[in-house]
Homo-oligomer: A and B are copies of this chain.
Amino acid sequence: MSEEIVVIEGDGIGKEVVPAAVSVLEAVGDFRFVGAEAGDAVKDETGEALPQETYDTVAEADATLFGAAGETAADVILPLREAVGSFVNVRPARAYPGVDAVRPETDLVFLRENTEGVYSGHEDRLSDDLSTLTRVVTTSASERLAEFACEYVDERGADGFHVAHKANVMRETDGRFRDAVVDVAEREGVETEEVLMDAFATRVCLDPTQFDVVVCPNLAGDVLSDLAAGLVGGLGLLPSANVGPDNALFEPVHGTAPDIAGEGVANPSAAILSAAMLLDHLGYGDAADDVRAAVESVLADGPRTPDLGGDAGTEDVTTAVLKRLD
């Protein structure tokens, strides 16, 4: 093992949880870590939230572990997703035994289109009163996502996947998305079921076990996965992967948590679980499973950070995870 992993702590608790995740990676593998900078602090210093050097380093690496950025989050994360050529954002949202959740039976994975929709949207100020945004949907990006989804469903042993959309209103664009995704799945022999994104929001609260893998356009995936985070007890436990053809970026779904930043009490679980997804991506599936098992075991009966009702610090939790990896 000697892959190059770029490490971007970013702002706030990124500076606390990313080092925790790196120590876990060091414990299970032999990687070259390259530090890089992005976020509010860099912008204050240099005028740029995402220096070109960071972009290039990320683009050339095997994988990147990113923490969080503050006000500049969109200026950092959207170009970085592009830098790794990410076409899908993989967002598992599951509850853990021992962690308070409004829906403890939740175990979902969102596969979010990661390049277009309103995110690639060109905006115009057409008059003092009127602005527009051009939302973009292509068959090619939708198909690529669907191909990934079919493989993913197979690896997960899922029965198929749901396609969430709003094609009853966005008939042409979300219609194109839906048709492309369903066509690929049919060709691959994978079952799909459609669900309107508003109906999904209601139904997932009533009974999340109705769903398993959910394929969504970009903004739908953003909102619906954050909704699922609410059902499992918050963003503190959710990892994510921005996957491209041969590069990827991993990040906890949470932000910089300015209220607790610097206090050493941030929950490192989401960052460590993101590191596990990184291990999967690099082909170290066994190490990834070990890390997930260690985190799960600590969540069940190990030390807890204040967000989970405990009074342990980031280091206590990290040490406990490392111990169970021994």
Contact = CB atoms under 8 A, between A and B. Distances in A.
B134 A134 contact: yes
Contact of A198 (B119, B205, B226): B226
Contact of A135 (B103, B133, B175, B233): B133
Given A198-B222, A223-B223, A235-B202, A131 B230 contact: no
Contacts of A132: 134-137, 173
A259 interface: no
Contacts of A118: 135, 166, 169-170
A293 interface: no
B129 A170 contact: no
A239 interface: no
A128 interface: yes
A65 interface: no
A125 interface: yes
B133 A129 contact: no
A176 B223 contact: no
A73 interface: yes
A219 interface: yes
B119 A130 contact: no
Given A73-B168, A132-B136, A133-B173, 19 more contacts: A74-B168, A102-B102, A102-B206, A118-B169, A124-B172, A125-B176, A129-B140, A133-B172, A197-B223, A198-B223, A198-B226, A201-B226, A202-B227, A202-B229, A202-B234, A204-B230, A205-B230, A206-B230, A227-B227
